[in-house]
Structure 1
Amino acid sequence: MKKQYKLIIGTGQTCQSCIDYFTKTTIEYKIFDTRDISCINKSIINLTNKNNFRFGYYEEAFLDDIDEAIVSPGLDINQKIINDLNQRSIPIITDIDFFKRLSDCKIISVTGTNGKTTIVTMLEYLLNQLDIKAKACGNNGISPFITLEDKFDYIIIELSSYQLQYMNNFKSYVSLISNIEDDHLERHNSFENYLNIKKKIFKNSEITFCHNNLLEYMDDVLNIRKYGYVEDDINHHSQKIYMDDTIIENLKIDKQNIYYDDISCNYRGTHNLDNILAVLSIANNLYNKKDFFKKSIRILNDFNFLPHRIEFIRSINDVKYYNDSKSTNVFSTITALKYLRKNIILIMGGSKKNLDYGKLNNYINHHVKLLVLLGENKNIINKQITTNVPKILCKTIEESVRVSYDKAKPYDFVLLSPGSPSFDMYTDFEERGNAFIEAVNSLD
C-alpha cells in the first residue's frame, strides 16, 4: 500500500503544533507554504525532509500521496492550493478538527470579535479555582495538542472567524459568541458572511450562549441562552444581571464593580463586565452550586487582566499612559475611548484593513483632544476622521509617544489604541505594544 501523508499548509503556530505532535506520533507529513523560503523559520526547515517541503510552488505530483490537508487559518480560502485540493476531493481540516478526533474531553468553544482571549483565560482561571480542571487553547496561541498530555474536565477553545471558516467538526458541550462587529471584511467580503461564519460555532453544541445584544441575529439558533444586564440609568447603578433569561438575585453592578451580597469585583470597563458575565454564564452551568456566585466574584477579583488591552503603563507629570495595542478594529478603539472617557491623546494607525474609521467621529469628538496618526493607513484614517480635533502625523511609535508627551497636560491620558493590525511595522500586536511601553518608559 502506498504511503500516505498529511499536508500541513503554512508554517506558523498551527504548523509548528502539528509538526510537534506528528513527530511524536510518527505520523508522516509534508509541508507547503505560499511564501519564499527566505520567510520561513529555519527551525522548521531543519526539522523537515526537504523532499517533503515546498515553498511558493509545487508540482502536481506533490499532492498525489496526500490523504488530508491541515490548513493554517490565516491562508486565504481563494489560494490555488485550496482549489487544487478541492479538485482532488482531498479533505481540508484545521488542527482543531484533528485534535477533536483524539480527545474525549468536553469542549467549550468561544468566539467573538473582541475579548475572546480574555474570556477563555478568565474562564480557565475561574474553573481551576473552583477545582474544575480546565485548559484554554486555540486562537490564544496555545496548541490544543498539549492538552492530550494530561487529563482535564474541560478544554476551552478560542476560535477566530478564520478557524471557523475552515473547520468541519463543530461538536462542543458549550459554545458562546460574546460580540460581533464589522471586522475581517477584507477576508469575508460582507458583515453577513462574517456573522454566518461566527454562528457556525453553534453547530452540534449542547448548550449555546450569546450576549443579549446579539439576539437580533440569532433567530435561527434553537434554545440559545442569553446573558446581560438591565439598563436602568446612565450611571449603571445597581443594575440587575440575568443569565439563561433569569434575573440573578443579589448579583448587581454599578459603574465600577459587580457585587454579590457584600463581595465585589472591579470590572475595569463595560467591555470587561461583558467578559465576566460570559464567564459566569458558562461556569454557572458547570459548577451549579448554591455558593457559586459568591465564590466566583471573590475569585475573579484576583484575576490578572491580560497585557496590551487598555493596560496602564505609568503616570508622568500626572499624565497616564495606556497600552491598548491589541486593538485591531474600530470597535475595540471605541471601547478604550469609552473606558478612559475624556482628555485623551489617541495614537492610532497600523497596517491597512477594510475598516470604516468614520464610525469613530462622534467618539473622537466627545473623548479625544488630540489624534496622533502613524502607520501604513494613517492617511486613510486622516481622511475618514472629519472632526475638528487636531491631528499630527508621525512616522514611528517612538515619535508618536514623544509628540504626545510634549502636548499632554496634567490629568490627560495618552492612549495607544491603533484600531488597526500591526503588520506594517511589527510582527504582531505584542511587539507593537512592547515598543510603545519601551518608548513610554524612556521618557523623562
Structure 2
Amino acid sequence: MSLIATDNISIVVGLGITGLSCVRYLLSKGHRVIVVDSRDNPPALDAFKAEYPDVPVCLGPFDAELLSSATQLFVSPGVAIAEPAIREAQSRGVRVTGDVDLFSQLVGAPVIAITGSNGKSTVTTLVAEMARQAGLNVAVGGNLGTPVLDLLDDSVELYVIELSSFQLETTHRLGASAATILNISEDHMDRYPNKLAYLQAKQNVFRGCRYVIVNEDDRLSEPLMVDGMEAIRFGLGKADIRKFSTVTEGEETYICFGFEKLINVAEVAIKGAHNISNALAALGLGSAAGIDMSAMLEALKQYKGLEHRCQWVRSLDGVDYINDSKGTNVGATVTAIESFGKSGRGKVVLIAGGEGKGADFSPLAEPLTKFGRNVVLFGRDAGKIELSLTDSVQSVKVNSLEEAVKEARKLAQAGDSVLMSPACASFDMFRNFEARGDAFIDAVNRL
C-alpha cells in the first residue's frame, strides 16, 4: 500500500533538511501537511514560512493529541522515535515512517545502501565514483549530502545512499540491491539505551535486500535475517571464495577476489589499513550491482578520499599532521590510531576531545599503549577521556584546539604522526565536524 494518501494528513516532525525534503515531496503530490518542531525557532523557519505560507507549523513541546490525529508521521533523523508523544501516536495506530521508507517505494533503479559506525561516507563516495567510471548515471545522497527524496529522477541508473541508524529507525523495508553494515562500534549512546539497540537499528538496512556485503573483520556486520539473500564477504587477509581480501607476497600486498589478484595495494590512492578495508567493501557492493571490474579498479587508483577523514594536512620537521575530524566516535579513533600506528614509521600523538555522547572511552587505552606517544585533550569530555587511559601513555589537557596543536608539536618526534581524531562530537566548541577540521588545518598551517 502506498504511503501517500491525499485524503489524510501527514505530519512532518522536524524542520531540518530532511523535513523540508519531505514537505516538498508531499505537497507536490497534493498531500495535506502539518509541520511540528520541538524548537521554538528552527534555523530554516523564516525561509520555510515564506515558501510555504499555507502549511501550518507548530513549535515547542510535541503535542501527543496533534500527532495522534495524523495518518502518518514522517520523522526526521534528528528526532528520536522514542519521544513520548511519538510513541503515544504510534500506540494509537499512527504510522511512524521516514523519507527513506517513502523513497524505497518510489525508486525506479537499483539501490546500494551503506551504513556502519565508521567509513560510510568514504565507501559511499567511492562506490559512486566506481559507477561514474563505468559510465553510469549515479545519484548519491542520504545521510551524506542530498536527502533521498530529492534524488529521485527517472534518468538515474543507480542510487548510492549512506544511511545513519537514525534514518534506519523509520525504514521498514528498503529493498536494496546490495547493502552493508561496514562495522559496529559504540556510538550515539546518548540516544540508544545500549549497543544492541543501536545494532538493531542498523540491521534495518538488510530488509528486503538481494546481496549482503559482510565484513569478516567485524562479526556484528552479519545480517540477522538471511532468507533470500546472497552474501559477498570482505576482510583484510585470508583469501577465500566469493570474498574480497588482501594477500601479501614478499613485500607486495594485493587486493584479491577469491584467489585472483586484482590490484597492488600500492596503486590504491586512499591509504591506511582502514581505507583498504573500505576499498574491499566498495568492490563488494559494486560487484553485487554489476559495475564493471576494470572501472572499479581504475576508480581505486584515482579516488583520493574525503576531507576531514584521515586527511593529510602537512609534514613539518618530519612529523605528519592528520585531520580526522570525522572521527566522532571511539571506534573511528581506534581505527585511525591503529592505521597510522601500524604504518611502521613513528608513534602517534593523538589530539582528542569534545562532546562524548555518553560513550565509553576505555577502548582507546589499548591502541594508545601500543602506538601512542602522548595524548593532548581538549573540550567538554577531556577529563573523562583522561580517566579512561592507562598510565602507559601520558596525557595533557589544554583549553582549545589551537593550544592542542601547539602542544602536540612540542611532544612529537620525527617520524611521528599528529592525529586529530577526537572520538567525540564537535558541538561543544564548533558548529560541526567540518568547522573543527578546518580549525585544525588552520592551526597546523600557522605552525
TM-score (norm 1): 0.88
- CA contact 2:178–2:209 (8 Å) conserved in 1: yes
Give the distance between the partners of 2:58 and 2:64, measured in 1 at CA.
12
Q: CA deviation at 1:189?
A: 2.0
Q: 1:402 aligns with which of 406, 428, 444?
A: 406
- Which residue does 1:35 correspond to in 2? 39
Q: Does 1:313 align with 2:313?
A: yes
1:75 to 76, 79, 82: 79
Letter in 1 for 2:237: V
Does residue 431 of structure 1 match 2:435? yes
Report Cα offsets for 1:245-272 as digits up to 9, x if no partner. xx1412265xx53xxxxxx324401111
Offset of residue 414 of structure 1: 1.7
1:141-176 deviation digits (Å, cap 9, x = unpaired): 212223224511111121111111121232122212
Distance 1:50 1:386, change over 3 A: farther
Between the aligned partners of 1:400 and 1:280, the Cα distance in structure 2 is 38
| SS of structure 2 residue aligned to 1:196 | helix
Measured in 2, the distance between the counterparts of 1:213 and 1:130 equals 29
Partners of 2:335 and 2:68 in 1: CA distance:
50
> SS in structure 2 opposite 1:224?
strand
Structure-2 residue corresponding to 1:260: none
Partner deviation per Cα, 1:8-48 (whole Å, 9 max, x = no partner): 11122211222343455553322111122266654235444
In structure 2, the partner of 1:160 is: 164
- The residue aligned with 1:5 is 9
Q: For the structure 1 residues 439 and 305, does the alpha-carbon distance in structure 2 shift closer, same or farther, using more than 3 Å as the test?
A: same
Q: What pairs with 1:102-181 in structure 2 (closer than 5 Å)?
A: 102-181=106-185
Match for residue 88 of structure 2? Answer: 84
Question: Which of 162, 183, 187 is the equivalent residue of 2:187?
Answer: 183
Number of the residue aligned with 2:393: 389
Specify the SS of the correspondent of 2:336: helix
**Alignment equivalent of 1:355, drawn from 351, 359, 364:** 359
Pairing 1:230–2:237 present: yes
Q: Which amino acid aligns with 2:134?
A: L
Aligned residues of 1:94 and 1:163 also touching (Cα < 8 A): yes
2:216 counterpart (212, 217, 241)? 212
Please tell me whether the aligned partners of residues 229 and 239 of structure 1 are also in contact (alpha carbons under 8 angstroms): no
* Equivalent position SS for 1:128: helix
- Give CA deviations for 1:203-254 in whole Å, capped at 9, x if unaligned: 111222211224574465244331234349x9954567565xxx1412265x
**2:375 corresponds to 1:371:** yes
- The secondary structure found in structure 2 opposite 1:186 is coil
Report if aligned partners of 1:108, 1:156 keep a CA contact under 8 Å in 2.
Answer: yes
CA distance in structure 1 between the aligned counterparts of 2:71 and 2:172, rounded to whole angstroms: 16
Kindly tell me: are residues 62 and 372 of structure 1, through their superposed partners in 2, closer, same or farther at Cα, counting changes over 3 Å? same
Identity %: 28
Measured in 2, the distance between the counterparts of 1:269 and 1:25 equals 47
What is the CA–CA distance in structure 2 between the aligned matches of 1:32 and 1:354, rounded to whole Å? 28
In the aligned structure 2, how far is the partner of 1:2 from the partner of 1:314? 56
Residue deviations 1:310-329, cap 9 Å, x none?
Answer: 10112233332111000011
* Aligned residues of 1:241 and 1:248 also touching (Cα < 8 A): no
Q: Quote the Cα distance in structure 1 between the aligned partners of 2:122 and 2:294.
A: 21
SS across alignment from 1:89: coil
| Within-5 A mapping of 1:279-290 | 279-287=282-290
The counterpart of 2:261, out of the listed 250, 255, 259, is 250
Q: Deviations over 1:166-188 (max 9, x none)?
A: 21232122212221222223323
The amino acid that maps onto 1:230 is G
Q: Which moved more, 1:198-207 or 1:325-334?
A: 198-207
Cα pair 1:170 1:204 within 8 Å, conserved: yes
Q: Write the letter of the residue equivalent to 1:68.
A: Q
TM-score (norm 2): 0.87
Distance across 2 between alignment mates of 1:393 and 1:305: 31
| SS in structure 2 of the partner of residue 37 of structure 1 | coil
How far apart are residue 58 of structure 1 and its match?
5.2
Per-residue deviation, 1:3? 6.1
Contact 2:325/2:420, CA 8 A, preserved across alignment: yes
Matched, 1:421 2:425: yes
- Aligned CA distance change for structure 1 residues 171 and 184 (closer, same or farther; 3 Å): same
Change in CA separation of 1:350 and 1:419 when aligned onto 2, cut-off 3 Å: same
What amino acid sits opposite 2:302 in the alignment? D
Tell me the residue number matched to 2:99. Answer: 95
Once superposed, which parts of structure 1, at least 4 consecutive aligned residues long, lie more than 6 Å away?
A: none
Q: Give the aligned residue type for 2:194.
A: S
- Displacement of 1:372: 0.7
Distance 1:39-1:80 versus aligned 2 partners, 3 A rule: farther
2:336 maps to a residue whose letter is A
What displacement does 1:396 show?
Answer: 1.4
- Other-structure match for 1:301: 301
Work out whether residues 77 and 167 of structure 2, in 8 Å CA contact, stay in contact via their aligned partners in 1: yes
- Judge conservation of contact 1:351–1:424 (CA < 8 Å) in 2: yes
Could you say what the CA RMSD is over the residues aligned between the two structures, in angstroms? 2.7
1:221 counterpart residue number: 226
- Residues 58, 307 of structure 1: CA spacing in aligned structure 2 closer, same or farther, 3 A cutoff? closer
- In structure 2, the partner of 1:326 is 326
Amino acid at match of 1:328: T
Distance of aligned partners of 1:202 and 1:40 in 2 relative to their CA distance in 1, 3 Å threshold: same
Partner Cα separation in structure 2 for residue 401 and residue 159 of structure 1: 33
**SS, match of residue 410 in structure 1:** coil
The answer on whether the counterparts of 2:111 and 2:161 sit within 8 Å (CA) in structure 1 is yes
- Shift of residue 356, structure 1, vs aligned partner: 2.1
Report if aligned partners of 1:230, 1:240 keep a CA contact under 8 Å in 2.
no
